[in-house]
Amino acid sequence: MKNVEYRVTGMSCISCATSVERILRRNKGVEDVKVENFENRVFVTYDETLVQDETLLHQINRIGFKAELKQ
């Protein structure tokens, strides 16, 4: 399992956080998602043999937020 933190901007309410969490949890291999919308952070635990950062980031961006891997 891999644990990552994404910086996600544009989340302004609980509905935004719920949308991000829902889109990520749909991916096979995603074990856990924690969204801190007012801190612009999303923590994801996933099996990197089943899904990759690029896929998850693309999905967040596709629903209207700006996401990047926190270094």
Q: Which residue shows structure tokens 């896929």?
A: 55
Does the structure show a pLDDT above 90 at 71? no
Express each pLDDT in 14-56 by its tens digit. 999 999 999 999 999 999 999 998 899 999 999 999 999 999 9
Cα dist from 6 to 35, 69, whole Å? 10, 5
Q: Quick check: 41 and 5 in contact, CB under 8 A? A: yes
* pTM greater than the 0.75 cutoff: yes
pLDDT of the residue at 43? 98
- Whole-number pLDDT of residue 23: 97
Confidence tier at 1 by pLDDT (50, 70, 90) = very high
CATH code given to domain 2-69: 3.30.70.100
Query: How far is the C-alpha of 1 from the C-alpha of 8, rounded, in Å?
Result: 21
User: What is the per-residue pLDDT for 4?
Assistant: 97
Q: Where are the domains of the chain?
A: 2-69
Q: How many CA atoms lie within 13 A of 13 on its CB side?
A: 1
